Structure formats: C-alpha cells, structure tokens
Amino acid sequence: MSNLPLVIVAAVARNGVIGDGEKLLWRLPDDLRRFRALTMGKPLLMGRRTWDSIGRPLPGRESIVLTRDADFHPAGAHVARSLDEALAIGEARARAMGASEIVVAGGGDLYAQIIGRADRLCVTEVDLTPPGSAVFPRIDPEVWRETARETHPAGGGNEAGFSFVTFERRDRSAAQPVEIRGGGA
Ligand SMILES: NC(=O)c1ccc[n+]([C@@H]2O[C@H](COP(=O)([O-])OP(=O)(O)OC[C@H]3O[C@@H](n4cnc5c(N)ncnc54)[C@H](OP(=O)(O)O)[C@@H]3O)[C@@H](O)[C@H]2O)c1
C-alpha cells in the first residue's frame, strides 16, 4: 500500500476542457508558475500523449510515462505499462527523491482512471470555454471538499481570469487502494 499522497494537478476550462491535441488553449504564465511550484522535486505521472505534447523531461522532476506500447522508450523518463506499475515507480522515485507526494500531471485519459485513487486535486479553473477533445472528470462534491480558492482576474500576461482551487478527498479511507507490487525504476 502507498502511504504517500497522490495529487492531481490540472488546469480546467469552465466546460471541463483541458486540451485539444497539442494546441495551446490559453496563455496563463501564473498557472505555469504554480504548476512548477506544485511539481518541483516530485515524480510526475503522465500519459504518453501528454508526454508527447510537453516534448521533453521537465527539469527538477522525474517523469513516469504511461504507455501500452512496448516499443516506446522515452529519453529522460521512466516508463510504466499499467496504472499499478506507474504508481509503484512513483512511490519508489518519491522516496528516492525525498518527495512528500506523487503528482499526476495528466492528461484526460489518465485523470479519469486515477481520480478514484487521488487524495488531493489542485485545479486551476480557467474562465474560458474552448473546444477541445481532452476533458477533466467530474469533481463529485460528495467525494471532494473544496479547501482553498484564490481568484485572479485576467491581466499581467494572463489572457483570462482564473482561480487556484484545492480539493481534498473527504474520506481518505474511501480512496481505492494503491497496490504496490514490486517497486521498480
Ligand atoms: N490542462 C491541463 O492541465 C493538462 C494537463 C495535461 C495534459 N493536458 C492535455 O491533455 C491532452 C492529452 O490527454 P489525453 O487524454 O489525450 O491523453 P493522456 O492521458 O495524456 O495519454 C493517454 C495515453 O497514455 C497511455 N495510457 C493511459 N492509461 C494507461 C494505462 N492504464 N496503462 C498504460 N498506458 C496508459 C496510453 O498511451 P499509448 O497510446 O502510448 O499506449 C494512452 O494513449 C493534451 O491535449 C494535453 O495538452 C492538459
């Protein structure tokens, strides 16, 4: 069993959209700064499409890329072929890095599979409604309690208003258990 918190970090438009292929949907430098602060020094779990859209390892963090493709070997990242393997590697790398938590950095496919196991959601609510193929799963208020909200208007290079919102799982014992088999990395 994992003891380290599993934290989802995502920027989500009003209509739930988080991405559309490799297109940039918004320009929010303050959100990029927050993403950096929330993820620095920690292992990041991400789907292969998100890895492709970032295009490189993020400095100061260790990426664990999920893929079902046995021939995919990203340079500068760990690879996991299943959710449980990704969580096991995340746990091992967090302990090796001295990190206090494991971060899930997207995208929509991975968020949908893992939200049931997460302990905290760090969501940037973006005041836009762009079309897009990747979406964030529903945040069920019976499961998640909002514990912090910081609202910012557009400006200072940020093209839209946005809010930094934190949700904590109401009942941590209700999170689906994270079974660690082996370890790895
Ligand atoms: N706004 C935000 O905060 C944010 C954050 C991250 C990403 N995004 C956006 O989200 C979009 C990408 O999201 P997405 O839903 O298309 O894809 P994704 O979640 O990034 O990646 C999906 C891929 O991950 C692999 N995968 C997923 N679950 C797996 C499992 N259980 N076991 C093994 N491999 C697994 C598969 O890769 P293979 O096909 O290689 O098998 C799958 O095709 C992009 O537009 C990106 O810009 C937005």
For 14-31, write each residue's pLDDT tens digit.
Answer: 999 999 999 999 999 999
Please determine, for residue 34, whether its predicted confidence score (pLDDT) is greater than 70. yes
Query: Nearest C-alpha to atom 45 of ligand 1 is from which residue?
Result: 19
Q: What angle do CA 112, 118, 120 make, to 5 degrees?
A: 115
Tokens standing for residue 180: 């660690």
Query: For residue 185, is it within any domain?
Result: no
Can you give the pLDDT at residue 86? 98
Domain residues for the domain of 18 are 6-174
Query: Nearest C-alpha to atom 13 of ligand 1 is from which residue?
Result: 107
Q: What is the pLDDT of residues 78-116, one digit of tens each?
A: 999 999 999 999 999 999 999 999 999 999 999 999 999
Query: For residue 20, is it within any domain?
Result: yes
Q: Separation of 163 CA from ligand 1 center, angstroms? A: 24
Query: For residue 146, is it within any domain?
Result: yes
Q: What is the pLDDT of residues 41-85, one digit of tens each?
A: 999 999 999 999 998 999 999 999 999 999 999 999 999 999 999
Count structural domains, the chain: 1
Query: For residue 181, is it within any domain?
Result: no
pLDDT band at 172 (very low <50, low <70, confident <90, very high): confident
How many Å apart are CA 159 and CA 10, to the nearest integer? 17
**Could you tell me the CATH number of the domain that includes residue 100?**
3.40.430.10
How many Å apart are CA 16 and CA 68, to the nearest integer? 26
Q: Separation of 111 CA from ligand 1 center, angstroms? A: 8
Which residues does ligand 1 sit against, CB inside 6 Å?
10-11, 18-21, 47-50, 53, 66-69, 72, 81-83, 105-110, 113, 134
pLDDT band at 174 (very low <50, low <70, confident <90, very high): confident
Please determine, for residue 178, whether its predicted confidence score (pLDDT) is greater than 70. no
